[in-house]
Amino acid sequence: MKYLFYPGCSAESSALEYGTSTLAVLEALGAEVEELKDWTCCGASVAATLSDLLGVVLPARNLALAEQAGNGREMLTVCSACYTNFRRTAAAIAAQPHLLDTINQALEVEGLTYHGTVQTRHLMDVLANDFDLETIAARVQRPLAGLTVAPYYGCQTVRPYSPFDDDQRPTSMLGILEALGATVHRHHREASCCGTSLLTTKPDVGYQMVGAILEACEPADCIVTVCPMCHMNLDSYQDKVSQVVGHPLHIPILFLPQLMGLAFGLPESALMFKRHVVPVGPVLAQLPGS
Amino acid sequence: MTTSEVINLTTVKRDPTFVDSLTPAGRLLSRCIQCGTCTASCPSAPAMDFTPRQMWRLAQLGFQDQVLHSKAIWLCSLCYTCHVRCPRGIPLTETIVKLKQLALQERISEWRESTAFYRAFGDVMRHYGRTKEIEFMVRYFLATNPLSALGYAGLGLTLLRRGKVHLEVPRLGGEGRLDRLFERVAELEGQQ
């Protein structure tokens, strides 16, 4: 398995632990991963709000780089917003025959041309579908026995451009979590919205949305996610959210590759639990042999 | 909208061509049967002035000002639930992105806490080519309410301590990483 890696802005800054643990886990599974050189922001939720063309040109700049460097490799992203932008751009190019010409007129100033051939994959898709569960289970050195985990996919991981799972009742994580030895806590907020930028612009509304997810996950020992935005919102605001919902909510939020790395016996330098706002210590203490 | 806030169809200014500018839905909005699945699916709907269903009806009828000045469009968090559930197959979420774009272009002054977010983010993205969280937040709070930043001070310190964000000296001015691409896009859009 060979991938070209587009980390996105979060995975090299606020969610560095996500990018780092992703690379460590994929290496442990035998995948070859190379970071895309000279990548720039995909435009987040902002570029398309500034202009229609900018909303496809910023993702296309990276797709053009990936096409050039990829040698047929698929582009792997860990961020659900980046994933949506790349796939939205691909869908727009497929639907509007002249769009690619216009995009290329813009990319000219960067010395790039895009031919529309790159496939973008989300880490969730790659982990669930490119490796069989026996391979994952065989890599486990420290089974997560006794640990109850609540999967949380968020929105854009599974909709509207994801071909790999149900867009409202996703199940991609289940097999992996069980292969790690964990007990899964199913709940009705697995594909709900974390509030994204509302936590900054309209915090009162955002806190309610985070609160609903944390409450649904309360019976679990931790929540596992595959999106840096979801992680930031669920991990950073639990004190404020507790005030809003009127009772204390305190639950560690792990990225899926961090949890896998934990079961694989990877070192703290690859998992970076110390970067979390809500301490992961109680989860670690619960594992057998701690 | 409460029932007391009635919009008078004969006196309020309407633009029947408004719906055509609302890509990607555009004329597809005429398919809307007002079933309310979008409103029932929307996690922000309880906080909105117009619910999504009401907003689409206003858009169909050409009430441009009411829609573009609404708080509702800024409460959409792009979760795409309405988009995938719409029984008429209307691409609703991306049409809200277009509404935000039009409201930004019209320099609508309400909901500055939201419009400033997009402007500050766009500026930082253009300048650095990647998102720099601290510079973005500084610009955002300076553009909105610097005092509100105090509410985030405790969290900011925690995130700094955990290495989640970094203090960097903002290097404003000089050529931005994506200036040429942004300018070229503006030029091409001007030609259309």
Residue B57 has pLDDT above 70, yes or no: yes
* Nearest by CB: A236 against B79, B155, B183: B155
Give B4 to chain A, closest Cα distance, Å. Answer: 25
Of B44, B122, B162, the CB nearest to A275: B162
DSSP three-state, residue A86: helix
The answer to whether position A280 is within a domain reads no
Residue B3 burial (CB count, 10 A)? 5
Residues of A in contact with B104 (CB under 8 A): 49-50
Does some domain include residue A21? yes
Q: Which chain B residue shows the shortest CA-CA distance from A46?
A: B118
Co-location of A91 and A200 in the same domain: no
Which parts of A121-237 fold into alpha helices (H)? 123-129, 133-139, 172-179, 198-201, 203-217, 228-236
In chain A, DSSP assigns E strands to 2-6, 32-35, 74-77, 120-122, 148-152, 183-184, 222-225, 253-255
Domains, chain B, ordered by start = 18-105 (1.10.1060.10), 112-191 (no CATH)
- What is the pLDDT, as a whole number, of residue B142? 79
Which residues in A35-58 are b (16+ Cβ under 10 Å) and which e? ebeebbbbbbbbbbbbbbbbbbbb
A158 and A228 both lie in a single domain = yes
Q: Give the amino acid at A155.
A: C
Mean pLDDT per segment of 10 residues, for chain A of length 290 residues? 96 94 98 97 95 97 97 96 98 96 98 98 98 98 97 97 97 98 98 95 96 98 97 96 96 98 97 96 87
Q: What ipTM does this complex have?
A: 0.95
pLDDT computed for residue B2 by the predictor: 53
Angle at A79 between CA A160 and CA A218, to 5 degrees: 85
Name the residue of chain A whose CA is nearest to B189's CA: A53
Query: Degrees (nearest 5) of the Cα angle A258, A205, A44?
Result: 55
Q: Which amino acid does the sequence have at A152?
A: Y
Q: Residue B171 — pLDDT band, cuts 50, 70, 90? A: low
Please check whether residues A211 and A148 belong to one and the same domain: yes
- Cα-based distances in Å from A123 to A3, A18, A183, A259: 11, 11, 22, 14
Q: Is the pLDDT of residue B3 over 60?
A: no
The total number of structural domains in chain A stands at 2
pLDDT at position B112, please?
87
How far apart are alpha carbons B11 and B181 in whole angstroms? 44
Mark whether A82 and A163 lie in a shared domain: no
Strand order in the sheet with A74-77: A32-35, A2-6, A74-77, A120-122
Predicted local confidence at residue B172, as pLDDT? 56
C-alpha dist (Å) from residue A142 to A134, A137, A266, A289? 15, 10, 10, 9
Question: Would you give the distance in Å from CA A215 to the centre of its chain?
Answer: 21
Give the distance from residue B157's alpha carbon to the nearest chain A alpha carbon, in angstroms.
Answer: 11
**Comparison of pLDDT for B145 and A190, the residue scoring more:** A190
**Which residues in chain A touch residue B110, judged by CB atoms under 8 angstroms apart?**
none
> What local confidence, expressed as pLDDT, does residue B4 receive?
52
Q: Which letter does DSSP use for residue A23 in this model?
A: H
Q: Tell me the C-alpha distance between A78 and A11, whole Å.
A: 8
Let me know whether A148 and A253 are in one domain. Answer: yes
Does B166 or A170 have the greater pLDDT score?
A: A170
Show the domain range for A223.
Answer: 143-264
Size of interface A-B (CB pairs under 8 A): 153
pLDDT digits (tens, 9 = 90+) for B8-44: 777 888 998 999 999 999 999 999 999 999 999 999 9
Same domain for A90 and A165, yes or no, is: no
Q: How distant, in Å, are the alpha carbons of A91, A206, B40, B41, B178 from that of B185?
A: 20, 33, 37, 35, 11
A92 domain-assigned: yes
Pairwise CB contact (< 8 Å): B181 & A110: yes
Q: Is residue A281 part of a domain?
A: no
Residue A110 shares a structural domain with residue A152: no
Q: Which class for B4: exposed (0-12), middle (13-18), buried (19 or more C-beta within 10 A)?
A: exposed
- Residue from B125, B132, B192 whose CB has the most chain A CBs within 10 Å, to mutate: B125
Is A194 within a domain? yes
CATH number of the domain encompassing residue A226: 3.40.50.11810
Give the residue on A whose Cα is nearest the Cα of B101: A49
* Residue A12 and residue A111 in one domain: yes
| Interchain contact, B125 vs A43, CB within 8 Å | yes
Is A273 a member of any domain? no
Beta bridge partners of B152: none
CB A72 within 8 A of CB B143: no
Cα of A79 to nearest chain B Cα, Å:
14
Place of tokens 């988009």: B83
Q: Rounded to whole angstroms, how far apart are CA atoms B34 and B52?
A: 10
| C-alpha gyration radius of chain A | 19
> What pLDDT does residue B192 have?
67
Report the C-alpha dihedral over residues B61, B65, B71, B73, rounded to 10 degrees: 60
Residue A174 token pair: 């289940």
A148 and A252 belong to one structural domain: yes
Q: CA A231 → CA A14, A256, B101, B139, distances in Å?
A: 10, 11, 27, 23
Domain containing residue A40: CATH number? 1.20.1050.140
Which strand ranges, in their side-by-side order, compose the sheet holding A253-255?
A: A183-184, A148-152, A222-225, A253-255
Residues A152 and A110 in one domain: no
pLDDT tens for each residue of B67-108: 999 999 999 999 999 999 999 999 999 999 999 999 999 988
Q: Rounded to two decimals, what is the model's pTM?
A: 0.95
Q: What is the DSSP letter of A36?
A: P
CA A246 to CA A242: how far, in whole Å?
A: 6
- Domain co-membership, A119 together with A156: no
Of B77, B104, B125, the CB nearest to A196: B77
Please tell me the predicted confidence (pLDDT) of residue B11: 83
Q: Report yes or no on A196 lying in a domain.
A: yes
Angle between helices A172-179 and A256-264 (to 10 degrees): 20
One domain for residues A102 and A154: no
